[in-house]
């Protein structure tokens, strides 16, 4: 399905990004994973992927730093020679009520979630334009569509990703470059592990399917959007939320 395609995945060593990397490797893709730093868990995961995929590389990068992003994009091209798929998954949360939210809580979330997505997209769009083809998949959130109390910074950043997705699709579609977004709901990751059982139960009751999603639910859609099977889909934001936001 993705045989010998090269996929770059930001935030590709944990949570949803990790699941996407594993699913794409199983479908034949070569991978370039980007994360802020390389831990032992990261090394172990890269080794696991290397048993499945022909080529896996890891690249440490803070996506909120444009100069670092530009350098890493060149490093990846030098190693892989081409890029077919970009998955912008890197993201953080720093929750607080808006009236109590600090500048750091606002800026850090916007810098990683939105500006990081813009910087990485810009760097690899240059590659895609030279290749005359490319595919970008942005990981947004239903919170960017519906809002959420205590997450105004996160909601704003993900709403921005939605707008960015549609703008990229319109700007570069004529160059054979597609761009879509996935908007997950509550997915079982480190972000949801910190929630109390009572809060989890309330969340589950608000979801039509009455359960949290698995990272693999998002990963399988990402593989579809990365494949030629979705070749006539661009500018879309697809929810994976169990029917929470209908």
> For residue 210, with 0-12 CB atoms within 10 Å meaning exposed, 13-18 middle and 19 or more buried, which class applies?
exposed
Q: Does 157 count as an annotated binding residue?
A: yes
Q: Does 50 count as an annotated binding residue?
A: no
Q: Does 11 count as an annotated binding residue?
A: yes
Q: Is 154 a catalytic residue?
A: yes
Q: Does 177 count as an annotated binding residue?
A: no
Q: Does 102 count as an annotated binding residue?
A: no
Contact 184, 204 (CB under 8 A): no
SS3 129: helix
Chain center to CA of 167: 17
Pairing between β-strand 30-35 and β-strand 6-10 as defined by DSSP bridges: parallel
Number of neighbours of residue 188 by Cβ within 10 angstroms: 17
Q: Identify the CA nearest to 83 among candidates 12, 3, 6, 178.
A: 6
Q: Does 82 count as an annotated binding residue?
A: no
Q: Does 189 count as an annotated binding residue?
A: no
Catalytic residue among 154, 186, 232, 245: 154
List the binding residues: 11-14, 36, 89, 154-158, 187
List the binding residues for NADP(+): 11-14, 36, 89, 154-158, 187
The catalytic residue positions are 154
């Amino acid at each position: 399905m993705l045989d010998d395609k090269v996929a770059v995945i930001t935030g590709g060593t944990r949570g949803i990004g990790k699941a996407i990397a594993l699913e794409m490797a199983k479908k034949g893709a070569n991978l370039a994973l980007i994360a802020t730093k390389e831990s032992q868990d990261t090394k172990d995961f890269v080794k696991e992927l290397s048993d499945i995929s022909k080529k896996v590389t890891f690249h440490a990068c803070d996506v909120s730093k444009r100069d670092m992003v530009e350098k890493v994009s060149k490093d990846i091209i030098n190693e892989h020679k081409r890029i077919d798929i970009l998955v912008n998954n890197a993201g953080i949360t720093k929750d607080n009520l808006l009236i109590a939210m600090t500048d750091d809580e606002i800026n850090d979330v916007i810098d990683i979630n939105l500006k990081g997505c813009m910087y990485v997209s810009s760097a690899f769009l240059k590659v895609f334009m030279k290749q005359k083809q490319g595919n970008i998949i942005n990981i947004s959130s239903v919170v960017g569509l519906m809002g959420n109390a205590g997450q105004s910074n996160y909601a704003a950043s993900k709403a921005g990703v939605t707008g960015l997705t549609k703008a990229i699709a319109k700007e570069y579609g004529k160059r054979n470059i597609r761009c879509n977004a996935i908007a997950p709901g509550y997915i079982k990751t480190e972000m949801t592990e910190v929630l109390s059982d009572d809060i989890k139960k309330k969340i589950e009751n608000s979801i039509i399917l009455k359960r949290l999603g698995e990272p693999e639910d998002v990963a399988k859609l990402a593989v579809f959007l990365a494949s030629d099977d979705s070749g006539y889909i661009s500018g879309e934001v697809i929810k994976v939320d169990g029917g929470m936001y209908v």
